[in-house]
Structure 1
Amino acid sequence: MKKKGMSALCLCLAMSLSAFTGGVLAQTGDAAANSSASSAQSQTAGTEQGTVNINTDTAQQLTQLQGIGARRAEAIVQFRDENGPFTDIEQLQEVPGIGPTLVENNRARLVL
């Protein structure tokens, strides 16, 4: 009886572990598939944790940047509407309320 009980316990543990690692692997695979799709989308739209395109993203998407609230995001959109697309990340500092520290804090996520 003990032998059957141990076998059942081992089987249950193995199945639980298999389900857990399968889910983790599935999520990892999804992330890998999404990263290639994200690269293609970075030219047209930013993602919450990915890149933010200062030339094409909406004000709401721009608020995903550190230190950018609704008012600054709207100022970025208004600036590019009036002056055309940004040609350099540094040009973002020409938007009222955005300085070099804000640009540096977000540089890794900013794309044109």
Structure 2
Amino acid sequence: MKNQKDLDYYLSLPYTFQVRKTENGYWANVKEIDGCHTPATTIEEAYKDLEMILKDHIEIRLEHGDSIPEPVDHEYSGKFNVRVPKTLHKQLAQEAEEEGVSLNQYVVYKLSK
């Protein structure tokens, strides 16, 4: 049976392209796939070259039967628990009270700064 996941399937996935400035230009990589990277002189070149590198990288992995990581779409609930020292808890609660808002609203405000 033929593998249902072909080149077109992988190229349609929302891989994360990362580009950062370096001393000599730019460095681009695909976050999800180790070894899928390229240097470039411009941002435009970085994205264009990275698209070709990704295609070549996937083709080679398919040819050799190697696994190909897929992007993970994380879902976030909007909730997380954080343990803080009692003194910090007290300070934040007092500041929230002074502002006339809940501790939760105050912490969201502080984190979004």
TM-score when scaled to structure 2? Answer: 0.22
Q: Which has the higher contact order (CA 8 A, sep 6+)?
A: 1
Bigger fraction of residues in strand: 2
Bigger fraction of residues in helix: 1
